[in-house]
Structure 1
Amino acid sequence: MTRTIGFLVYPDFQLLDATGPIATFEIAARFSPGAYRLVFLSRDGGMVASSSGMAVATISLAEAPPLDTLIVAGGDGVHTPATCPVTLAYVRDAAKTARRVASVCSGTYILAEAGLLDGKRATTHWSRTKDIQKRYPAIRLEPDRIFVQDGMIWSSAGITAGIDLSLALIGADEGEAVARRVAQQLVVYHRRPGGQSQFSALIDLKAKRFDALLAWAREHLAESLSVEQLADRAAMSPRNFARLFAAETGVTPAKAVERLRVEAARALLDSQPLQVEDVALETGFGDPERMRRAFIRAFGQPPQALRRTARAG
């Protein structure tokens, strides 16, 4: 069965919001011949220029074939189609006939204006969060998520998160083995789960001198990651390492490791059918109680409560 994926763009759309998902599905079609047909849509058809000046050839909404999935790109020009009756009517109709409707980045505005997100969980780029919340209070916005699924409606954070969303859609269609091969071809992490934060502890720590060390630590969370181990990795004495690390990052090495662990543990809890005890072991907490205390410090809730919230959605 061939699934037709429609990509809706408009003048001044963000190029990667569209081309990231387009490339992801195009590569999936190589690994699963006949799985996908891609069509590029705009209100009037023809060449449509992105905010970078590069343009894509599209067909008009009036000529659009029946879709399996509609993906709406974001970008600086989003507010024009978000107030266009023709575009909004098309999106509403697509939601009635397509199996899925999705948005990337600020494409959320179009789904919101079409009324598709009322009472639903959704996300968008972090820079749009406050405006979305103000304009559309009926949306159950989850601003710190890579992507969110609520029934047939999917939404994702900015730009590269559209690739994560597309990999999730492909995994649901063709299986995780195909999605994994696509991720490998794209040379991206397979795959950031929807529950992962838009913000990384590695970025928040702002530790240029220790960037490589922290990146290594994130890949070795199951190890002890004591001050002594980290200092040895940094080729420094434990005392000097602890002093310089705290001066540069504003936190102790132990607190930095805890941030990395809670970030990884929350992503696993949201995306994997693992027991809390297994997540605690895999991320280096060792026991669930230690992880529970760290989650309360970081999120104000224990792991089980966050997992119930994610599953309820």
Structure 2
Amino acid sequence: MFGQHPGYRVLVCGDHDRASEIRPTHSLSDVAGADIVVVPGYEDPNLPVPEDYLRALRTAVERGARVVAVCTGVFALAASGVLNGRTATTHWRHTERLRLRYPTVDVVENRLFVEDGAILTSAGAGAGIDACLYVVGADFGTAVADGVAKDVVFATARDANEPQYRDALAPTRDSLHATREWAIENLGSALTVQRMADHSLLSRRTFIRRFVRETGMPPMQWVTLQRIISARRLLETSDWTVERIAGTTGFGTAANFRTLFRRELGVTPTAYRRSHAPGGLAVRQGA
């Protein structure tokens, strides 16, 4: 935290003698004090990674730091050995190369980013922004992550399961955009697959198939995710009771909301609010 505003202290660490496009501001030894280590992508993943860099990555993972690898940065993680037995992804052009070179890594294709424990790996540079917004949201809440996305003129972070690419003959990314926007505006109503299919003017079967292609998940799973996101924002920014938030976001009863929220996030709504509400936001009775 910096004053009243959440944030990070960012250090660019590396070997000054070997740096190229990115000029380090601190030495490689400063990685030892980092809570989050971001490994940027680099042009040629075939290049060997210096041993001191690999050692810094291994040490960071061993002491429990979070590590985010963007695009081809995953090859450095794999070379260090910290991905052995873990799940990871990278840009679709490099997934097969990653799989062949590091067979002990479980390579997932066509995902924006993958989280395995404290390690996040992402696809291209755009997906790297999604992954970083995900980290910001986890640390400071979705409202802060939304603000960061707005500051960098980036859309609200996409879900990790969203595919990197789609089949050439698949519908365009925005073919169901209007229906998704309509669903978000009506989260408090009784949304069903059939209602969304009717709104999209498609048959139920065609709608489901197209929806999964465009979002990477079934319609009702996506609806639950949007309800969770909306509830998180309200817990972070309002003094509404849990009962009111449950009704507004479509969870129905407070009991149902608490159960689903804890299942998805591992904490109760009240605990989430306590850790994310700014400035000790006063909460009304019943929250």
Q: Provide the TM-score with structure 2 as the length reference.
A: 0.63
> 1: distance between equivalents of 2:163 and 2:71?
15
SS of the residue corresponding to residue 148 of structure 1 reads: strand
How far does residue 218 in structure 1 lie from its aligned partner after superposition?
A: 2.9
SS of the residue corresponding to residue 35 of structure 1 reads: coil
> 2: distance between equivalents of 1:152 and 1:267?
27
Residues 46 and 60 in structure 1, CA contact (< 8 A), matched pair in contact too: no
Of 197, 211, 224, 1:261 maps to 211
SS of the residue corresponding to residue 165 of structure 2 reads: coil
How far does residue 135 in structure 1 lie from its aligned partner after superposition?
A: 1.0
> 2: distance between equivalents of 1:217 and 1:75?
35
SS of the residue corresponding to residue 53 of structure 2 reads: helix
Q: Which has the higher strand share?
A: 1
Deviation track 1:131-166 (CA, whole Å, cap 9, x = no partner) reads: 111111111111111011111111111111110000
Gaps of 5+ in 2: 181-195, 227-264, 266-287
> 1: distance between equivalents of 2:74 and 2:148?
25
2:19 maps to 1:48: yes
For 1:1-313, list aligned pairs within 5 A.
33=5, 35-42=7-14, 44-45=15-16, 48-50=19-21, 55-64=22-31, 66-82=33-49, 84-200=50-166, 204-205=168-169, 215-220=174-179, 222-224=196-198, 225-226=200-201, 258-263=208-213, 264=215, 266=217, 273=224
Residues 194 and 271 in structure 1, CA contact (< 8 A), matched pair in contact too: no
Residues 81 and 88 in structure 1, CA contact (< 8 A), matched pair in contact too: no
Q: Which has the higher contact order (CA 8 A, sep 6+)?
A: 1
How far does residue 260 in structure 1 lie from its aligned partner after superposition?
A: 3.1
Q: Which has the higher helix share?
A: 1
Alignment-mate amino acid for residue 29 of structure 2 = A
Deviation track 1:203-253 (CA, whole Å, cap 9, x = no partner) reads: x3378xxx6xx73533325253337xxxxxxxxxxxxxxxxxxxxxxxxx9
SS of the residue corresponding to residue 169 of structure 1 reads: helix
Gaps of 5+ in 1: 3-28, 228-252, 276-310
How far does residue 190 in structure 1 lie from its aligned partner after superposition?
A: 1.4
SS of the residue corresponding to residue 36 of structure 1 reads: coil
> 2: distance between equivalents of 1:272 and 1:217?
14
Alignment-mate amino acid for residue 205 of structure 1 = L
Matched pairs, number: 211
> 2: distance between equivalents of 1:137 and 1:270?
32
Aligned residue number for residue 278 of structure 1: none
- Closer/same/farther in 2, CA of residues 164 and 261 from structure 1, 3 Å limit: same
How far does residue 60 in structure 1 lie from its aligned partner after superposition?
A: 2.3
> 1: distance between equivalents of 2:39 and 2:104?
20
Residues 69 and 99 in structure 1, CA contact (< 8 A), matched pair in contact too: yes
> 2: distance between equivalents of 1:116 and 1:267?
32
> 1: distance between equivalents of 2:130 and 2:218?
13
> 2: distance between equivalents of 1:47 and 1:268?
48
Aligned residue number for residue 294 of structure 1: none
> 1: distance between equivalents of 2:220 and 2:99?
26
Alignment-mate amino acid for residue 62 of structure 1 = S
> 2: distance between equivalents of 1:272 and 1:114?
39
Q: Provide the TM-score with structure 1 as the length reference.
A: 0.58
> 2: distance between equivalents of 1:136 and 1:63?
28
C-alpha RMSD of the superposition: 3.3
